[in-house]
Amino acid sequence: MRSQSAHAELETGTASLRRRRISESTVRRLSVYYRALAALDAEGYHTISSQELATRERLTPAQVRKDLSAFGSFGTRGLGYPAKELRARIGQILGIDREWNVGIVGVGHLGSALVSYREFQKQGFLIKALFDNDQRKIGSNHKGVTIADIRDLGAEIKKQHLAIVIIAVPAAVAQSVCDLAVAAGVKGILNFAPIRLKAPSEVVVRTENMAMELEFVSFHLAQHLTRESSASLGNRPR
Amino acid sequence: MRSQSAHAELETGTASLRRRRISESTVRRLSVYYRALAALDAEGYHTISSQELATRERLTPAQVRKDLSAFGSFGTRGLGYPAKELRARIGQILGIDREWNVGIVGVGHLGSALVSYREFQKQGFLIKALFDNDQRKIGSNHKGVTIADIRDLGAEIKKQHLAIVIIAVPAAVAQSVCDLAVAAGVKGILNFAPIRLKAPSEVVVRTENMAMELEFVSFHLAQHLTRESSASLGNRPR
DNA sequence: GCATGTGAATTCATTCACAGCT
DNA sequence: AGCTGTGAATGAATTCACATGC
């Protein structure tokens, strides 16, 4: 579709990074590999085969190789992949080889939990700013970060170069927070409000809905129950 | 591949609920429809077409119809689907037409946030028990629920008929919590620890990793940056 | 000999397109 | 006329299988 393809044949064989489209599931699995490799590295593995990585995470070796090959050739035939190096490389791909300044909007139960979430810090997501509209909260300190007035969201995004904003406000106001953030130049949004946010396509929006995750569980439980139509364990129709 | 297929031809035409395999994405979309229908119902819609539902959620009408048809025929040709009824029916399918007794293990920042999470209560997920291993927390009250000693997990699961357990403990102890819960008869697990839990296949396990969600965002940001190799916004290599 | 990297084959998911009902 | 329900067609993701290279 791109005029580039015209000279595709002429490419040098040198690690030609063909921009194949990367699927969402591939990205998720990269995150999985990244964690698995940390564990394997800690266990003393220097080198790891797609086979070993796959068995650990209940995937197929071919899947692992396909996922990785979309970004380059990181392995050695006959040997496998160098654990440390591969992990670093995946970190680069996932964009966690750098630091990202992150703001959290909405310091309710969930918002405050996220401030203290260790994994974020560990991967270079630095919570630099907190916002709320509750006057009683504004000005108070949370893990070394002072809660700012949500009315200053735009200004602070610019001043502190916040690239990512986590939305942890009620559904009713989530879209307006999103609009403000986008207008101020935020590039990525992680949204915990249970609605679909509208944002320009160049802004990366990811919505996470914990109620849906539980529904996924209850769906399967309900399926089992109706299939087996047996033993009810602590649930009754309402 | 299954011997069943042998008599497939002989089925009666009567709404034979062919147990087609339901994909993960279909279940997720059912949750989406469920929420959309609540909104539409509130807006006064009595009847809704696959077209309308699809546009709202940025899907295709065919997708909506396929998803629903996997569970039966809920619409009327020429008209559409009855909003209220369809919502109720999807609720049934998702297993949220009943109440589920839920326990939360690990009352740290995330655990306490989940106790107060309104969406859970609204869909019939009743937080009936909390567990922690911190003696200072045990016995204290959280939203009307007393925190129990994690050593009583098995006993309480049985006594209170907890069907689902939410794991919000550090990765290092998540598997042992899982084992205890499974041994006590828990049927479903929502896991927030960043590891893959091993559990028998009849137990429904869903793992949610918030760091991975942020990685998904940073992946796309990193891709944009390398593609455009331009304007860095608040991030630098470390 | 062993394990990667990758086209080809397969399986799974989505979309098309239309018969069938209101 | 309008919209569902669903086989058929297309498209995407996964797996197979093997040539390639250490």
Three-state DSSP class for residue B162: coil
pLDDT at residue A224, as a whole number:
86
Q: What is the pLDDT of residues B177-197, one digit of tens each?
A: 999 999 999 999 999 999 999
Determine if residue B154 is left, alpha or beta; phi over 0 gives left, psi from -120 to 50 gives alpha, anything else beta. Answer: alpha
Q: What is the pLDDT of residues B86-118, one digit of tens each?
A: 999 999 999 999 999 999 999 999 999 999 999
- Protein-to-nucleotide distance from the CA of A23 to the C1' of C5, whole angstroms: 19
Region B211-219: what's the mean pLDDT? Answer: 98
Q: What is the pLDDT of residues A124-157, one digit of tens each?
A: 999 999 999 999 999 999 999 999 999 999 999 9
pLDDT above 80 (res A5): no
Neighbours of A30 (CB within 10 A): 23
Give the single-character DSSP code of B23: P
Q: What is the pLDDT of residues A9-18, one digit of tens each?
A: 323 333 445 5
For an interface test with B, the pick among A128, A130, A218, A235 (most B C-beta atoms closer than 10 Å) comes out as A218
For an interface test with A, the pick among B197, B217, B224, B230 (most A C-beta atoms closer than 10 Å) comes out as B217
The band of A20, judged by pLDDT with boundaries at 50, 70 and 90, is confident
Tokens 């791909």, residue located: A93
Region A99-108: what's the mean pLDDT? Answer: 98
d(CA B41, CA B74) in angstroms, rounded, equals 16
pLDDT at residue B121, as a whole number:
94
d(CA B220, CA B56) in angstroms, rounded, equals 25
Tokens 């949610």, residue located: B208
Q: What is the pLDDT of residues A203-219, one digit of tens each?
A: 999 999 999 999 999 99
Tell which residue, B137, B132, B205, B128, has the closest CA to residue B168.
B132
Crossing angle (nearest 10°) for helices B83-94 and A210-228: 80
Region B148-172: what's the mean pLDDT? Answer: 98
pLDDT at residue A230, as a whole number:
40
Residues written for chain A: 238
pLDDT at residue B18, as a whole number:
52
pLDDT at residue B21, as a whole number:
87
* pTM, rounded to two decimals: 0.90
B93 touches chain A (CB under 8 A): yes
Tell me how many degrees the CA angle B118-B122-B123 measures, rounded to the nearest 5: 125
- The residue among B103 and A238 whose pLDDT is bigger is B103
Region B32-36: what's the mean pLDDT? Answer: 98
pLDDT at residue B11, as a whole number:
34
Chain B: residue nearest A128 by CA?
B234
Backbone angles phi, psi at A208, to 5 degrees: -120, 125
